[in-house]
A = this chain, B = another copy of it.
């Protein structure tokens, strides 16, 4: 069933049918109803290739997928992708994934842009002074960064959550509860988000005269394994912390096991706050002790980025708009007053 058939069936021109379906104003409401109705009844779906050819749009969002040694992105990547796909699916957009090693990244971006294979691109896990951002900026293809870089001498569009405020608030809560020795188990320090979280936590503590010495900070790829070992080290110190902030619920699983091994209770001996990216398979409520979190759905971010990318493709969004989402602080049983 194609346009031609549908229009002859309705005794209308292809023009009118096409316009009716695409919401153009110059078609009578009555006619539009007829057309939309018939299209639905006959299951008409416009051929994407034809549409793309006619409009010159590729109808695809591209992503250069690093395939090197980065375990870190995995669960986040799939979840983010789900969000992106949720939006894309309902808006005639497809996702094109281009696997690439770290070294070939630049070449890959150049290729997909030159081939006109995609209308827009997104970048994830930005680092400070991220070279990919500069490259895409030069290539002139619409893009959005999921997260933020730092130290770049130009602006660019991004979507980020307010990591600094999130950890500021979480630290402030702990301080208000009387905690004076607070540890931070963070994500990989070459990722901007980790830098921001440490900054936020430190700001809240400094404001109250609480220290955050290097001995109480760990910054590692966010695996359960790393959470465990980081926690073990930190808990072994003579001045054991009474609270731990963590960048990842996966890591927190490791922290909890370390606490259990050390015979320490939550929140009796140690309070816990973690950042929750809202994975469907790991919910803070289901932790042994319900886990207090700073929460922001990475999946929603994926949806929003798809939406903004679509807007950029359509020329509805321009300029280097940065969007920063507030983060919820959800207090649950894993935090308590510090023992005096």
Contact = CB atoms under 8 A, between A and B. Distances in A.
A280 B89 contact: no
A130 interface: no
Given A67-B82, A77-B78, 17 more contacts: A43-B114, A47-B116, A48-B115, A48-B116, A50-B53, A60-B94, A65-B78, A65-B81, A65-B82, A73-B78, A74-B74, A74-B75, A81-B99, A85-B98, A94-B96, A97-B97, A225-B253
Contacts of A279: 71
Contacts of A116: 45, 47-48
A220 interface: no
Contact of A228 (B52, B58, B257): B257
Nearest to A71: B281
Contact of A53 (B49, B86, B89, B257): B49
A125 B277 CA distance: 25
Given A78-B78, A225-B224, A117 B281 contact: no
Interface size class of A (residues with CB under 8 A): 35 or more
Contact of A95 (B53, B67, B73, B96): B96
B58 A281 contact: no
26 contacts: A45-B115, A47-B116, A48-B115, A48-B116, A48-B117, A49-B53, A53-B53, A65-B78, A65-B81, A65-B85, A67-B79, A67-B280, A68-B280, A69-B280, A70-B281, A71-B75, A74-B75, A81-B97, A85-B98, A86-B99, A89-B98, A94-B96, A95-B95, A95-B97, A224-B225, A228-B257
Given A49-B49, A78-B78, A89 B99 contact: yes
Interface string A268-294: 000000000001111000000000000
A261 interface: yes
Nearest to A48: B117
